[in-house]
Amino acid sequence: MATDTTISTQEIVQRYLHFFSGLVFDQLDERGLGHMVLANDIKPIDPDSKIAGPAFTVKGRVSTDSGPGHNQVQLEMFSRFEPYSIEVIDTGGDIASAHFGGLNATACMARNVTGTITDGGTRDSHQLEALKYPVFCRFRNPVAATGRWKVVEYQTPITLPGAIIPEVAIYPGDFVFGDIDGVVIIPRELTLTILEACEKHLGIERIAMSELASGDDVVEVFKRYRKF
């Protein structure tokens, strides 16, 4: 998902990984998009996790189907993953099942997917930690999804709970950034705009922090950089 044919998705992802979610949020907020933040309880299993990449959207629903072919859509989905993408799962509000686990993570990694976000649950936490595969979720439990929940669509618009508004709309290819403080969603067409703004403001913030650490007057630093 490069928004500029001269810049690869890999390069965009690597540049975003220098940022932190507060910095990305500030640039969205300045453009009237401060509501594009996922719910506060969607957090990384590993606090050191950081993810960045275009969204590969997945939609699921509660289902008691466990017969042959019950997971056909999900199996097909794995062959459609794009390198450096982030799997984003809309569970349809299910709070009973674990919607992601060790086998899913292994399959994602084999296809160069670099992280998963779900508004539901995960299991196999020790496996996920051993794999060092970044997962953001609302809860963990041991309950298998088979016969309780299934994937029904992928690469279609989805919604996940928001921190500021009830639901955040996410479209395939929107850019996702997440770290210990939370997850922000960048509309696809603004991916490079926000990238360049973050790089500019990260430099300013580092200078401001250096001057504060050196004992400069707080008011004067604020006047110079309009930070805090």
CATH of residue 67: 3.50.30.40
Q: Which residue range(s) make up the domain with 131?
A: 9-225
Render pLDDT for 22-78 as a digit per residue (tens, 0 to 9).
Answer: 999 999 999 999 999 999 999 999 999 999 999 999 999 999 988 877 789 999 999
In terms of Cα–Cα distance, which of 26, 45, 5 is closest to 140?
45
> What contacts 8, CB < 8 A, 6 or more positions away?
2
| Residue 3 within a domain | no
Whether 93 is covered by a domain: the verdict is: yes
Distance from C-alpha of 223 to C-alpha of 107, rounded to nearest angstrom: 51
Does residue 4 lie in a domain region?
A: no
How would you label 72-86 residue by residue, b for 16+ Cβ within 10 Å and e otherwise?
Answer: ebbeebeeebbebbb
The pTM score is: 0.88
Q: Which two tokens stand for residue 55?
A: 């969204």
**Burial class (CB within 10 angstroms; exposed 0-12, middle 13-18, buried 19+) of 3:** middle
Residue 2 lies in a domain: no
Provide the residue type at 151 as one letter: V
The lowest-confidence range among 100-114, 122-136, 206-220 is 206-220
Query: Any idea which residue has 């970044």 for tokens?
Result: 134
**pLDDT at residue 221, as a whole number:** 46
Number of structural domains (the chain) is 1
User: Which of 15-24, 34-43, 73-82, 208-217 bottoms out in mean pLDDT, i.e. has the lowest?
Assistant: 208-217
pLDDT tens digit sequence for 142-153: 999 999 999 999
With a CB cutoff of 8 Å and minimum separation 6, the contacts of 42 are 117, 118, 119, 136, 137, 138, 160, 161, 182, 183
122 membership: H or E segment, kind and range: strand 121-122
Q: Which residue has the higher pLDDT, 11 or 3?
A: 11
